[in-house]
Amino acid sequence: MSVKLSAVVVAAGRSQRFNQAREGDSSRLSKQLASWDGKPLFVHTLEALSVLPIIEWSLVIHPDEEDVIRENLNKFFSDLKIKIVNGGKRRQDSVRNGLEALEACDMVLIHDAARPFLSSDFLKNIFEKAKSVDALIPTMPIVETLKEIDSTGKVLRTQDRNRFVRVQTPQFFKFDLIMAAHEKLKNSSEDFTDDAAVMEACGYVVQTASGILENIKVTLPEDLRSRGIHV
């Protein structure tokens, strides 16, 4: 089935935890600009996603980093239709800005720029599964015991970990539905930590598919060093 697919890649964060952990490094570059094999991390992420038939891209950034991001896009992706969009105050505001910059399509994937470890097989498999549903997200099982605690740290109860999962990106959505959901909730006071939560809040059904262990979100320099990447 032929599907017009676009992408929103979110790279607007300020990476406070990442920079705080970089001992002896006074730079304030975000983690998506950390150099790896001669390329910024966000470039590796875009290269990985490029195995999918994406017709248009929206890269959501912090305006302070526009010059260096444009320089790298011109260097590595001169043939791709990539729009640069400024991020908003919250993650959902950034994503909505990215969605609004796209032309109408059938489906959109939304992905964190700080998740570069994507295999071709994983991406192609989840894309095929997403074609038949309104929303699809990759998930991983929770293998540790899951405790619910109160504000003082006291354990309230032990939860059944089989009822919970960890969520990854890219998340795939029917374009018109995720656009409508973000528009409906743009003035909400709630902070949505992912776009599936935006869909859920509007009553849409979100399906899950198996994620992959390698698809971590880089948060600390150690996340890269543990893979032999020096930053």
- Each of the 231 residues of the chain gets a pLDDT tens digit; together they read 689 999 999 999 754 444 444 454 545 568 889 888 889 999 999 999 999 999 999 999 999 999 999 999 999 998 888 999 999 999 999 999 999 999 999 999 999 999 999 999 999 999 999 999 999 999 999 999 999 999 999 999 999 999 999 999 999 999 999 999 999 999 999 999 999 999 999 999 999 999 999 999 988 777 666 666 665
Is 91 domain-assigned?
A: yes
pLDDT recorded at residue 16: 44
Residues 6+ apart with CB under 8 A from 39: 72, 76
- The reply to whether omega before 170 is within 30° of 0 (cis) is yes
pLDDT recorded at residue 19: 44
- Compute the distance between CA of residue 194 and CA of residue 43 in angstroms, rounded to an integer: 22
Is 11 domain-assigned?
A: yes
For the chain, list the strands marked E by DSSP: 5-11, 35-36, 39-40, 54-61, 82-86, 107-112, 135-141, 146-149, 155-159, 165-167, 171-174, 207-210
Is 156 domain-assigned?
A: yes
- Compute the distance between CA of residue 73 and CA of residue 90 in angstroms, rounded to an integer: 25
Partners of 86 in the β-ladder: 61
pLDDT recorded at residue 21: 43
Whole-number average pLDDT of the chain: 91
Q: Residue ranges of the alpha helices (H) in the chain?
A: 16-20, 41-49, 66-76, 91-100, 120-130, 175-184, 195-201, 221-225
- Compute the distance between CA of residue 103 and CA of residue 88 in angstroms, rounded to an integer: 20
Amino acid letter, 4: K
pLDDT recorded at residue 23: 53
The answer to whether the CB of 113 falls within 8 A of the CB of 208 is: no
Which among 20, 82, 18, 5 is positioned nearest to 45, based on CA atoms? 82
Structure tokens at 134: 């309104």
pLDDT recorded at residue 11: 95
Is 35 domain-assigned?
A: yes
- Compute the distance between CA of residue 101 and CA of residue 69 in angstroms, rounded to an integer: 17
**Angle ∠(133,12,95) on CA atoms, nearest 5:** 30
- Provide the number of structural domains found in the chain: 1
Containing domain of residue 156, as a range? 5-225
Is 230 domain-assigned?
A: no
DSSP letter (8 states) at residue 224: H
Is 146 domain-assigned?
A: yes
Is 12 domain-assigned?
A: yes
Residues 6+ apart with CB under 8 A from 64: none
Is 208 domain-assigned?
A: yes
CATH number for the domain that contains residue 70 = 3.90.550.10
Task: State the pTM of this model.
Answer: 0.91
pLDDT recorded at residue 31: 85
As a whole-number percent, the residues of the chain with pLDDT over 70 amount to: 89
